[in-house]
Amino acid sequence: MKLHDEDAVLTADRRRVERDVVVEADPDKVWEALTDEDRLEEWLAPDVELDPVEGGELSVRDDDGERHGTVETVEEGERLAFTWKRPEQGPSLVEFTIEAVPAGTRVVVVETSLVPGETFAPTASANWGAALPRLRRSLLLVFA
């Protein structure tokens, strides 16, 4: 599934959030926690139905309501991706990637908004540090 427009000069990227965590557990245990409904209910949401195959359905319920979606990618032990959306909101793509690291397993999650016309995403930019403090002061002036 294409997430980023090719002509990036004239269009901005999708809204995108990335987070990660390293857990002290083996990748196969982590994979199980990502794909087994009972395990998913321990951390993703109180109520989860998931058919962990490409095209499978996802149903999630939490305090804020329900989300429904479809499994996009299953690469056993490595990647799981699904779309989900609340009835009143636009869809997102959620992608999990797991990899073994010395301390256990790193889990990376990326949620990308799929709403057409929405913009802005952090790109893999090397030099965040230098530009940020100066820009922060300027934009704080704008938003104040």
Q: Binding to another protein by residue 15, rule CB under 8 A?
A: yes
Q: Binding to another protein by residue 135, rule CB under 8 A?
A: yes
Two structure tokens written together for 97 = 């990637």
CA–CA dist 128, 117 (Å, integer): 25
CB of 27 to another protein, least distance (A): 11
Q: Binding to another protein by residue 24, rule CB under 8 A?
A: yes
Interacting residues of 84 by C-beta distance below 8 A, sequence separation 6+: 58, 60, 67, 68, 69, 91, 92, 94
What secondary structure letter does DSSP report for 14? Answer: P
Q: In this chain, which stretch among 49-57, 71-79, 80-88, 127-135 interacts with another protein, using CB under 8 A?
A: 127-135
To 10 degrees, the CA torsion angle through 102, 25, 28, 76?
A: -70
CB of 10 to another protein, least distance (A): 5
Q: What does DSSP say about strands 79-85 and 16-23: parallel, antiparallel, or unpaired?
A: unpaired
Residues 36-65 that bind another protein (CB under 8 A): 39, 42-44
Q: What residues make contact with another protein under the rule CB under 8 A?
A: 8-13, 15-21, 23-25, 29-30, 33, 39, 42-44, 92, 107-109, 111, 113, 118-128, 131-132, 134-136, 138-139, 141-143
